[in-house]
Amino acid sequence: MTPLRQRMLDELRLRNYADNTVERYLDAVKSFARYFHRSPDRLGREQIREYLLHLVKDRNAAPNTVQIHRAALRFLYVKTLGRQWFDEQVARTRRRPGLPTVLSAEEITRILDRTTNLKHWTMIATFYATGLRCNELRNLKVSDLDSRRMVIHVRIAKGGVPRDIGLSPILLERLKIYWRQLRPKDWLFPSAMRPDQRLELKSIRMAISTAARRAGIDRRVTPHVFRHSCATHLLEAGADLRTIQVLLGHADIQTTALYLRVSTKRMQAVASPFDTLALKPLSDTGGENPE
């Protein structure tokens, strides 16, 4: 590890950044340095601009990906190297908010029914039943399942704010089957090759993607899609936004309100004002062209 990388790592740890954020920031800075074949402390604003444009134009990176790279470089230059010109000189990428991908209950059932690997099945079921983020599920320990109080302790969460969420009785029964067969000791979903360590994030994402393809889902399915689906289906079942906000661990309820835009049942339940008009019936036997 280079001295600069170690220094940045120390600064991230000093500020108590989440492990997932630390990994992504370091990887982003490594990609930046590799692009120019030079140490970042010998590069400046013009190279940063060129690199971010490269992500947009050449790699067709999503706005969220560009934002992550910018945030990583900002941390390096502002927090680690003390170069305060960054915010003024490096433009932010505008995000155009889109609608989250949501699977139907039938699609989720199909994915589960066609997943034969018990660990993968249990991960998918847990994602959908709890709405956990990928890194939150990855960091679950066997001891985080409290069957007496019927809660799951999410100790490593986004923003460093732990929370408790309800444990589904049906999920608990499936988790017991999983535990009896695979006997995880510490991490709930350990690495197959290194049982004392957690699964890698990319391994979880690959398992989810493979399961969706096997079920004939032609859309891109990630762990977060199950989080979106869980929230949307809870909303359609009558749960209020505040409850869903606490379950998902959203700091701002406006983030949770996004699911109002993708709840088809709620949209279909709202009558159009057109339906209240007292209109004369139209004849379907001919007559004037309505154009």
Cα(235)–Cα(222) distance, integer angstroms: 21
| Token reading at 8 | 């940045």
Q: Which residue has the tokens 């977060």?
A: 224
- The pair phi, psi for residue 136, each rounded to 5°, is -70, -45
| Nearest alpha-carbon partner for 11 in 67, 70, 69, 81 | 81
Per-residue tokens: 29: 């800075």
- Say how far apart CA 264 and CA 102 lie, in whole Å: 10
CA-closest candidate to residue 105, choices 221, 248, 229: 229
| CA–CA dist 185, 219 (Å, integer) | 35
The residues carrying an active-site annotation are 133, 158, 224, 227, 250, 259
Dihedrals φ, ψ of 221, to 5°? -115, 125
Cβ neighbours of residue 201 closer than 8 Å, sequence gap 6 or more: 20, 134, 135, 138
